[in-house]
Structure 1
Amino acid sequence: HRSFSESDKPSPESTELPVDWSIKTRLLFTSSQPFTWADHLKAQEEAQGVVQHCRATEVTLPQSIQDPKLCTELRCAFQQSLVYWLHPAFPWLSLFPRIGADRKMSAKTSPWSNDESLQRILMSDWSVSFTSLYNLLKTKLCPYFYVCTYQFTILFRASGLAGNDVITALMSPTTRGIREAMKNEGIEFSLPLVKESGHEKKTASGTSLGHAEEQAISDEDEEESFSWLEEMGVQDKIKKPDILSIKLRKEKHEVQMDHRPESVVLVKGTNTFTLLNFLINCKSLIATSGPQAGLPPTLLSPIAFRGATMQMLKARSVNVKTQVVSGYKDQFSLEITGPVMPHSLHAMTMLLGSSQRGSFSAGLYTHEPTAVFNICPPVDKVLGKETVREELANCGLHPKTLDQLSQTPVLGKSSLRNVEMSDYLYNWRA
């Protein structure tokens, strides 16, 4: 258990949690009330939950459920909150997380690793699925989705979410190579954590990128005059122009930020469509060697799309006796594992408020490379809650979840780690 520093002070109590755009790998809920209602769903409840998900049925549970074990509505809604959609799907391979998953995957067979025609089929299938997701997003029928490659993750969000009035895509971590390639494709993007102030370009950590602008003469002029001196063979007698060392310093910094949260890239509006095409044709999207060779990136979505497979987060309840002064006390816990997306986390906390009589605590385990998705990107025009509710009414999410996801992010580069609900009020720590 990590100790909390000053910046980790618990939040003031509130009826809502801040939005968390990171993907969780595991949630561990504990409560003094049992979670036995979550076990052994009847076949009918399981079926009903699946249908409720597919038809985006809005379930509103009473604030407190007297006997959760007998509450069919609760159990169906629980099943509904466990559904997610995935492409590609190979039952013997765990397709999330992809970053740092080589060791886990190494013993598994991948029939496509040396078969180019099979790789082409997988990739064209993937392109169809990816395009389908993007079209759903554009028409506001899908709220957001993730593209998980073996090196970076991209979060695409519909217009109206996270306080933005256009489609946004956050990509992290990036390298100078991929940023250059994007520039060459004409994709406009910004580096929100690399702040520009006056003449000095500073990164979020405050280190300077060098005073290139102070050079009155442009790079090219300098370089041209220098190559002319070189032709005359006198370049060694003259001090090398400073502009080159400045350029090198700038490049060194750009490379230093590679693979780190600071390298997060933001793409907005129609540029996200150019990004889609770039990714479909991008060779470095897929590993060429190692256990992930030839495997297209994982697409994760809250709703169905072409070529997607319906998956379920795994849930299991455990009862633990904990020692207290007077003897032993029952402590009940519920563990959820799998790629837990933001809407699932919200749906679960709403459910558990009702089932655990407004009192539970949760440990949240983040897929660390996605924590940076909680930065607050610059917003041109903030949309009101009502507008977002209207525009995204058919995106498949509960209106309350939608309200939460349309909030402006406040967690910065961190993510929720502990959540306490007591008497229907939240305290949280990031």
Structure 2
Amino acid sequence: MTSQILSSKALHSWVYPQSTLPPAVISVLTSSAIEGDFLRKRQLAWEDSFRSLYYMLRKNICNIFYVCTSQFVVMFTGSDGSGCSKHLCNAYISQSTRGLRSLLREHDICFSMPLCHSKVEQVTTEDLVELSEIEKQNLGQTRRLSSLSDVDNSPQSLLAFCGNKNVHGLYDFLLNYRSSLTFLSGVDVPVLYSPVPFQNAALSSPEIKCVEVKRAHHIAASPKESTVKDTESSQGSSTGLLSSIEIKDAYIPSWIVCRVCALMDSNGRSFEASFTTERTSIGLNVALETACEKPDQAAAVEGLQESSHSFGIPEASVAPCLRSGFLKGLKYSDGSYVASLSPV
């Protein structure tokens, strides 16, 4: 089974750029007129790649891709068109700040905060200006309003953009107004991940570590982070060996996890998998079914739910009952899965 995973396309993603430049390198390149041209070309190449991915999404060629920054992860998704006359898109920003939400409102980009139960979503740009003035007069009066920013950079601050119009607004913002985001200044371009080829992309695979260990009977073993354990080899075997596959990378896209698990259960093998979720992407794992709740977006929700696959990943399905937490582990045996969740 280990050899099947390594020799298959299960671990493949398409990525741009292939590697990220550290801020110190960006600073040196920016200060040099000659090297600065390299950064400009890199920025233009990134814009071409992002534009390529977005229009592939709209044309139903790609059903999911990620834009990964140091502060948040953006997931763009689309229905596969089953039962729909129009291709429908949605997008999610894994976490946000009050400043980012204010900028999006200034550009008339509509979004919801399905995981946030406070009134933070109702705070407008004018409210923020008024808040700043009040703070100068009396800090005590702003205590309640200031607490609204407590959700910043947490899963509760996830932003959902439902429908093609709002998704296009987010795309335009990320393409043309990223410089407005101060925390992205002085850093490299965001990393783009896709399950299918796109302009300027290179094929990429995560780091793999495979080992065989002898099962320790009567001892509860702690699961390794980001591992898939094949328990079949220990069943009915005098050696009692346990195969362990550790998959490591800065980001492991959802399609890799789904493909590996599908390969494991295709042979009827029992296995256990444990996951370490990137902190900035936790919100993406819990909001998919609650994101588009408004009545005028019912068609978009229906389009996603009628899809035979979840976001173009044949091996995946959306389970609404699991939306209260992010996935910590899986156990597969006798044709069924048991999921272990961590609350948000």
- For the residue of structure 2 that corresponds to 1:358, the secondary structure is coil
Which protein has greater RCO, CA pairs closer than 8 Å, 6+ apart? 1
Question: 2:114·2:160 contact (CA, 8 Å) conserved in 1?
Answer: yes
Match of 2:271 among 341, 344, 360: 360
Question: 2:206·2:252 contact (CA, 8 Å) conserved in 1?
Answer: yes
- Mark the CA change 1:118 to 1:413 in structure 2 (over 3 Å): closer, same or farther: farther
Distance 2:114 2:80 in 1: 19
Distance 1:345 1:75 in 2: 11
- For the residue of structure 2 that corresponds to 1:388, the secondary structure is coil
- Give 1:202 shift: 7.7
Match of 1:316 among 209, 220, 233: 209
Distance 1:412 1:353 in 2: 23
Question: 1:358·1:425 contact (CA, 8 Å) conserved in 2?
Answer: no
Question: 2:79·2:304 contact (CA, 8 Å) conserved in 1?
Answer: no
- Mark the CA change 1:321 to 1:107 in structure 2 (over 3 Å): closer, same or farther: farther
Distance 1:295 1:89 in 2: 12
Distance 1:184 1:385 in 2: 29
- Give 1:171 shift: 0.8
- Mark the CA change 1:279 to 1:428 in structure 2 (over 3 Å): closer, same or farther: same
- For the residue of structure 1 that corresponds to 2:48, the secondary structure is helix
Distance 1:173 1:88 in 2: 23
Question: 1:144·1:158 contact (CA, 8 Å) conserved in 2?
Answer: yes
Match of 2:194 among 291, 301, 308: 301
| Matching residue's letter, 1:313 | P
| Matching residue's letter, 2:44 | S
Gaps of 5+ in 1: 1-34, 39-73, 96-104, 204-208, 211-217, 228-239
| Matching residue's letter, 1:334 | I
The two structures, once aligned, show a CA RMSD in angstroms of 3.8
The yes-or-no answer on 1:84 pairing with 2:13 is yes
Distance 2:150 2:169 in 1: 27
Q: Which residue of 1 aligns with 2:224?
A: none
Worse-matched range after superposition: 110-119 or 255-264 = 110-119
- Give 1:175 shift: 1.1
The yes-or-no answer on 1:275 pairing with 2:189 is no
Q: Which residue of 2 aligns with 1:156?
A: 76
Q: Which residue of 2 aligns with 1:9?
A: none
Q: Which residue of 2 aligns with 1:259?
A: 153
Q: Paired residues, what number?
A: 296
Distance 2:310 2:258 in 1: 20
Q: Which residue of 1 aligns with 2:59?
A: 139
Superposition TM-score, scaled by structure 1 size: 0.59
Gaps of 5+ in 2: 220-237
Superposition TM-score, scaled by structure 2 size: 0.73
The yes-or-no answer on 1:122 pairing with 2:42 is yes
- Give 1:166 shift: 3.0
Deviation string 1:346-366 (CA, Å, 9 cap, x unpaired) is 1111111134x3311111111
The yes-or-no answer on 1:388 pairing with 2:307 is yes
The yes-or-no answer on 1:377 pairing with 2:291 is yes
Question: 1:261·1:413 contact (CA, 8 Å) conserved in 2?
Answer: no
Question: 1:149·1:286 contact (CA, 8 Å) conserved in 2?
Answer: no
- Mark the CA change 1:120 to 1:75 in structure 2 (over 3 Å): closer, same or farther: closer
| Matching residue's letter, 1:276 | Y
Identical amino acids, percent of aligned pairs: 26
Deviation string 1:204-252 (CA, Å, 9 cap, x unpaired) is xxxxx99xxxxxxx99xxx9xxx9xxxxxxxxxxxx9xxx989834541
Question: 1:315·1:335 contact (CA, 8 Å) conserved in 2?
Answer: yes
Match of 1:426 among 316, 324, 337: 337
